[in-house]
Amino acid sequence: MKLALLGYGRMGKAIENIALKRGHEIVCKVDENLIEGKLQEADVAINFSIPDAAVENISNALDQAVPVVCGTTGWLDAYQLVAQKTQENNTAFLYASNFSVGVNLFFKLNKVLAQMMQPHKEYKVSMEETHHLHKLDAPSGTAITLAEGIIENSNITHWKLDEEAKDSVSIQSFRVGEVPGTHSIKYGSPIDDITIEHKAHNRKGFALGAVIAAEWILGKKGIFKMDDVLNF
């Protein structure tokens, strides 16, 4: 499969390494000061650019009917525009806030726990997420997905960043060193705490998941999620 890498930072290089090992070819690389190869030659484009470049990168690929797998967060106010372009160009688009198989299992665990905790009003839910200093958006897309999973399965109505409020999930975001990503959810009561946590040891899980998603989307048309790839 011929791949375009839209964003060639840490994640782009990690994806390249795994893609080459799986027998794929990189035919295009695009970054802030880099345009290498031709986007239209790609079978699938994988976008891990900075948030400000995401919509332009995705649109350029979709306008050339190149399917896009996107892991960049912090641009979702333009999601409907991207969905419309996907349909207009009869191609495919897949967005995930996190491509790690382990994190997607964690998403499911989070929803089940939220359902279990719903009758127990004495517990207050909160969340912490920690990433490397280079991550520009806060809270992380993964944290937002986790919060949405809690909201869908409880009486919680919204999330708040660094702020506690009634019927909300309080999310605290930390940016420290080169931490790949840690997310923890706590249900606290005066008697005890219940905590679940996912801790990434490196970027390989994210990169592998993105390549697997690109392999899966080849030849498909429409809007997809990581749940579709993993058959959850």
- Can you list the domains of the chain with their CATH numbers? 2-99+204-230 (3.40.50.720), 101-199 (3.30.360.10)
CA distances in angstroms from 38 to 25, 29, 30, listed in the order given:
13, 8, 10
- Count CA within 13 A, CB hemisphere, residue 78: 16
- pLDDT of 74: 86
114-119 contacts: CB < 8 A, separation 24 or more? 114/149, 114/150, 114/152, 114/153, 114/154, 114/156, 115/153, 115/154, 117/154, 117/187, 117/194, 118/153, 118/154, 118/155
- pLDDT of 165: 78
- pLDDT of 167: 86
Residues in the chain predicted with pLDDT less than 70, given as ranges, are none
Partnered with residue 129 across adjacent β-strands are 173, 183
Q: Give the type of residue at 218.
A: L
Find out whether 104 and 229 touch, Cβ atoms under 8 Å.
no
25-40 pLDDT per residue, tens: 999 999 988 889 999 9
- pLDDT of 69: 98
- Give catalytic residue positions: 131, 135
- pLDDT of 202: 86
Find out whether 100 and 209 touch, Cβ atoms under 8 Å.
yes
- pLDDT of 38: 94
- pLDDT of 22: 97
- pLDDT of 162: 83
200-229 pLDDT per residue, tens: 998 889 999 999 999 999 999 999 999 999
Find out whether 232 and 103 touch, Cβ atoms under 8 Å.
no
